[in-house]
Amino acid sequence: MSQELWTAVDGYLAQHLIATDPTLDAAIQANAAAALPAIDVTALQGKLLHLLVRMQRARRVLEIGTLGGYSTIWLARALPADGKLISLEYQPRHAEVARKNIARAGVADRVEVRVGAALDSMAQMVKQRTEPFDFIFIDADKPNNANYVEAALRLSRPGTAIVVDNVVR
């Protein structure tokens, strides 16, 4: 399927299945105003991530690649009040935009954005024997996907769901 057709299908489904959300719309607008790359997950992908976290009954989520926090908000909203999401972002400017979006969305109490190379952060978490995650979302530099999955396995437990973005298209 061509990118044009994917975009049309996504637009149609989002228009008919996803309610307008001013907070998420504001995050996308803030990302654009900050000149972040327009590579956020779509609203449909965000909704799918939200549903997967809820179905998993996840309490601990790891996100690799924060960008401006759009997917982070979808993930954090799916967590229970005592849930925890750690999001890893390489670019300090992206993390700054994300933190503002996350605060505006009212989920800052559940989210920690860490800045630095994700593989280094993940190695540090392994070294510190961080409690395993219930759900891991990988959406960062694609050449490192295999390395991220390998590191994610060391931060998971039996039953952890690991989702890697941009595998199909």
Domain boundaries, the chain: 3-164
Question: Could you tell me how far CA 22 lies from the centroid of its own chain?
Answer: 19
- Check: pTM over 0.75? Answer yes or no: yes
125 Cβ contact list (under 8 Å, min separation 6): 86, 155
**DSSP state letters, the chain:** --HHHHHHHHHHHHHHHS---HHHHHHHHHHHHTT--S-PPPHHHHHHHHHHHHHHT-SEEEEE--TTSHHHHHHHHTS-TT-EEEEEES-HHHHHHHHHHHHHTT-GGGEEEEES-HHHHHHHHHHTTPPPPSEEEE-S-GGGHHHHHHHHHHT--TT-EEEETTS--
**Of the candidates 121, 85, 104, the residue with the CA atom closest to the CA atom of residue 31:** 104
3-164 fold: Rossmann fold (3.40.50)
Per-residue confidence (pLDDT) for residue 55, from 0 to 100: 97
Per-residue confidence (pLDDT) for residue 10, from 0 to 100: 80
Q: What residue ranges of the chain have pLDDT lower than 70? A: 168-169
